[in-house]
Amino acid sequence: MAPDREAAEGPETEPGTTRRVQRTGGSSLAVTLPKSWTQAMRVKVGTPLRFSDLGGGRLEISLAATDAGARGNPRPLGIDATDLPPHLISRLLVGSYVVGQNRVRITARGGLTGTQRQEIRSLAGRMLGMSIVAETPEWVEVQNFVDPTRYPLSQILAQMVRLLGAEVHACRQLLSTRDPAAVAEIPGQEEEIDRLYLLMVRQLLIASDDFRVAREIGVESHHYQIGYRVVVKMLEEVGDLLAWIGPELQASLGRLQDLPRGLLEELDGEFQTVEARLGATMEAFTRFSVTQANATLNAIEEDLTGGPDRLRSIVHRIRDGPSAGSVQRVGSGLHQALQILAVVNEITINRAVEPETVARSEGQVVLDTNRKA
């Protein structure tokens, strides 16, 4: 490609204008670059450009020298923590992590306070691949060592789903055994779910800019990247709900033990429904089964339609007010989880009509297939 000589001689041509490919020499093909872009990027004869295949027929052009410099010895992102309100340092560090910043230096006029340093250390200890690599009285430098291509996204997602299933199972075990220790591992499982969620978001945001990463983790399509981002957030929300429901059950266990076993079995049935819908939802998503996603979505809609009446029936038979309130809160949380899973099934169905899917199937909507999403 060459800077646009035609644009230089005639009216300005915007980058979105359609250009025709021309033949140069015996077999080479070329297209001119828009003048506005070459001027803005200071492209001259001999300037090295980098071409990235983004999939779906898209090609990205960037300055190779700039890319190489950024990858070779990137400058740390600077965060000025002077007078920052509580928790904002942690949230900025989480943001830097998920968008792919590898080095972050936190400074403050007069030096960082002990509270600020503890906030940084606490967060670094909870994030996969984040470590404090240097520290002075004036600043702390954090580095993220996560290789975004090391694990396929589907593998991390499967582990997240296993942890969600373990949370549901722990709640059911508490109801059946009346043993408070049954939910002891839920807080740790929820922390792991959060770590995996942030790791997957990091992978997806890096993949949106780097097709090599996208190919390595199995999400070449931009549409799929967006869909995955929503799915992992929905699952993280389910984890948050279960992490709240477990302790709620544990705190109410003394009162719930006095309830008739039949009522507890009915409440357990609500957990069984969430457990079954979670499994069917994620099987449809990973198998890319549109028909299974549709069937699961229909089942969830039936669950949600009859859910309020079932929950009222349980609550109205509980004479103890605090116990009734606890069961009402738990049931409402489970119904919220079902609403979230409905969104995941909708995304699976949407993928059947996304441009990349239709293109691969020669313009036909694929109703069901066993290939991976």
- Each residue's pLDDT, cut to its tens digit, for the chain (373 residues) gives 555 444 443 444 454 567 788 877 667 788 888 887 787 777 888 788 878 776 656 777 877 754 444 444 468 899 999 999 999 999 999 999 999 999 999 999 999 999 999 999 999 999 999 999 999 989 999 999 989 888 899 999 999 999 999 999 999 999 888 888 999 999 999 999 999 999 999 999 999 888 888 889 988 888 889 999 999 999 999 999 999 999 999 988 888 777 787 888 999 999 999 999 999 999 999 988 999 999 999 999 999 999 899 999 999 988 888 889 999 999 999 999 999 999 999 999 998 887 777 666 666 666 665 444 4
248 and 141 Cβ atoms separated by less than 8 Å: no
Residue 167 to residue 336: CA distance in whole angstroms: 16
Q: What is the pTM of this model?
A: 0.80
Residue 153 to residue 75: CA distance in whole angstroms: 28
**61 DSSP β-pair partners:** 51
CA 274 from chain centre, in angstroms, equals 21
Residue 173 to residue 181: CA distance in whole angstroms: 10
198 and 318 Cβ atoms separated by less than 8 Å: no
Residue 39 neighbours by CB under 8 Å, 6+ apart:
none
Domains detected in the chain: 2-70 (2.10.260), 74-144 (3.30.1370), 153-360 (1.20.58.220)
